[in-house]
Amino acid sequence: MANPSLGRSFPLKVTAGVFLILLLYFILPLNLARFISPHNLKYLFLFYLLNSVTVICILRKNSAANYAFDSRAQELREKFNLLSVEYSKEHKNNLALKEKYRRYNSLKRILEGINQSLDLDVVADTFASEAFSLIANNRGVCVLYLVDNQTQKLLLFKAKREDPQLVIKAKEGNIFDLWVLRHTSPLLVEDINNDFRFDSEKLRLQDARPVSSLIAAPFTSENKFLGVIRLDNTARYFYSQDDLRFLVSVADLGAVALENSELFKRTQDLAIHDALTTLYTKGYFSERLKEECKRAIRQKMPLSLLMLDIDLFKNYNDKFGHTAGDIVLKKVSQIITNSLSNFNPIISRFGGEEFCVIITGMDKNSAVSVAEALRHRIEEEEIILRREESHITVSIGVANLPADAAEEDELIQRADKAMYKAKQKGRNRVCCT
């Protein structure tokens, strides 16, 4: 804290100094000059001259000292500014390193998360959520597209948004995702309006959602393209090269996890689907029938079971060979699937040339009508076997819960009995108990 008495005495000292100089160099000599002879005035002149030289020397010395001080002060200020800039740069680098450490340390957490599940939906949701949180700070939009194995198109699988009301219209990917698909490489767009690779007008026509900057990375495994993950924002220069590098790291992990999930899903599908017809297997169908019967009883809803058998199926194998028998089985399964698609059926190849169909919420009379329409549709279908035109017929048995049975085993028995009744009556017909 400053000394108040020192502040008050400083002007007094300055005033006293000025008065002393005036007294010694002006007032006193001028008064003495009146008593000095003109001959001795030269001494007074010499006095003034010597003192003037002395003052000039002192002033020059003081000026040089001030200049040296100013130069030193300027040099110190420059060093201080350089140190400030360097410190600011190091501080920013330190923060960036901390952010990188935080991000890459999170890869361990991501790995632990995806290792807990092989479900494709869970794995994809984990990657989309982590990328959206770690890179975008939950701002803008994150979309994850997977390649459909049948159509080879990019289909929207997961989406994370800052605005929950936002609708993602590009269900099959836009020009950015297709660019990543075509080049199989990551993409950074800092400002869409200044990026010569993309037509911003075309983008606006494709997707009304505004995008100014984005990063995207492919999911690839052994040269197989699995999908794309993209983060975009309405602000320009929102993403950096570091953001893209981290997204690529996430995508590399994601590619392995997604491929494992798809393999697991295919394995599950093979376990519950018939290899020839792709319909459900008998074991899985029996479990589903048990569940659906319990649900129907609990909700007091009807449930109908259709059991189909291809008439004289052995003749196709004997006359045209087993390959022809496989063709017939595939054809019948396709007709059943297509004809009953409006009823959300559960369809199974029950064994050999037999098929079973569960239709929930359908009473017995309606089920008989649907079965008759299906029988007629199968009968009308032409099939070429060894360049010979042929037709297929089926016998169908219909049973209903609760009209014919009280539980699943009895329901199967009643449907099987009705099917054999149709066989005994001449085949190519629908019967019920």
pLDDT tens digit string along 143-196?
999 998 778 889 999 999 999 888 888 888 888 999 999 999 999 999 988 888
CA distance 393 to 378: 6
- What the block records as the tokens of 13 is 């000292």
CA distance 251 to 130: 11
- What the block records as the tokens of 153 is 């198109």
Residues in the chain: 433
CA distance 365 to 302: 11
Backbone phi, psi, residue 247, to 5°: -65, -35
User: How big, in percent rounded to 5, are the helix, strand and coil portions of the chain?
Assistant: 60, 20, 25
All residues at 6 or more sequence positions from 154 whose CB lies less than 8 Å from its CB, including other chains = 145, 146, 147, 148, 172, 173, 177, 178, 181, 227, 228
Backbone phi, psi, residue 217, to 5°: -140, 145
Q: Which helix (H) or strand (E) holds 245?
A: helix 241-272
Average pLDDT over the chain reads 84
Longest Cα–Cα distance of the chain, Å, equals: 167
Sign of the torsion formed by the C-alpha atoms of 111, 116, 120 and 126? negative
Q: Which domains does the chain have, with CATH numbers?
A: 114-264 (3.30.450.40), 282-432 (3.30.70.270)
Between strands 430-432 and 394-401, the pairing is parallel
- What the block records as the tokens of 346 is 């559960």
Average pLDDT over residues 36-53: 66
Per-residue pLDDT of 221-250, as tens digits, reads: 877 899 999 999 999 999 999 899 889 988
pLDDT at residue 14 is higher than 60: no
Average pLDDT over residues 62-71: 80
pLDDT at residue 2 is higher than 60: no
Q: Can you give the pLDDT at residue 207?
A: 65
Give the pLDDT band of residue 416 (cuts 50, 70, 90).
very high
How many C-beta atoms surround the C-beta of residue 267 within 10 A?
10
Give the pLDDT band of residue 316 (cuts 50, 70, 90).
confident
